[in-house]
Amino acid sequence: MDVLSYFRAEVEIIGRNWRELLLGFDASSAVRRPAPNINHAVWLTGHMAWAEDYLILEVPRGQSARKREWDALFDFTSEKLPPEQYPPFDEVRTEFDRVHAEVLRVLQSMNPVDLGQPSVVERRWLPTAAHAISHQVGHGHYHLGQLAVLNRLREAGKL
């Protein structure tokens, strides 16, 4: 398997597992934190939409599909806000699905040569498309693990 095929497969797997885990959450459980400093499912989902867009579309290609007005809520500098300050869970889930579909479409249109191209958005640690996309693959699995823990807590009645 070549690197681009690996990236495509991993992003698709993360998205599929993400959507499956979200099925157990409702509007109430999606904004509950098991501890004050732990992210909830709404933030994690909005953050994943932001991160896939930023690291797979914006940094390497200069494109974007996300709702930029949500950046302050879900980007890497976002603060933990009270639940009522976030968009409704269904809207965030829909935005994740929309952005994820666009990310997959773009990844399918790429060829291996594209991975070596310099990133359009200059980020010191993400000099090429391959660096940015591989960062998101690891980052996606990290947050997928967090969502899986939240889901287990929810299933156990502790969320």
* Lookup: tokens for 45: 């989902």
Q: What angle do CA 154, 145, 107 make, to 5 degrees?
A: 125
Domain ranges of the chain: 3-155
Q: What is the pTM of this model?
A: 0.96
**pLDDT at 123 (0 to 100):** 76
Q: Give me the residue label for tokens 């099925």.
A: 23
Residue 20: both structure tokens together: 């499956």
The residue count of the chain comes to: 159
Let me know if domain 3-155 sits in CATH 3.90.1150.10: no
Contact 11, 104 (CB under 8 A): yes
Decide if 18 contacts 48 (C-beta within 8 A): yes
Give residue-wise pLDDT tens across range 90-148. 999 999 999 999 999 999 999 999 999 999 998 788 999 999 999 999 999 999 999 99
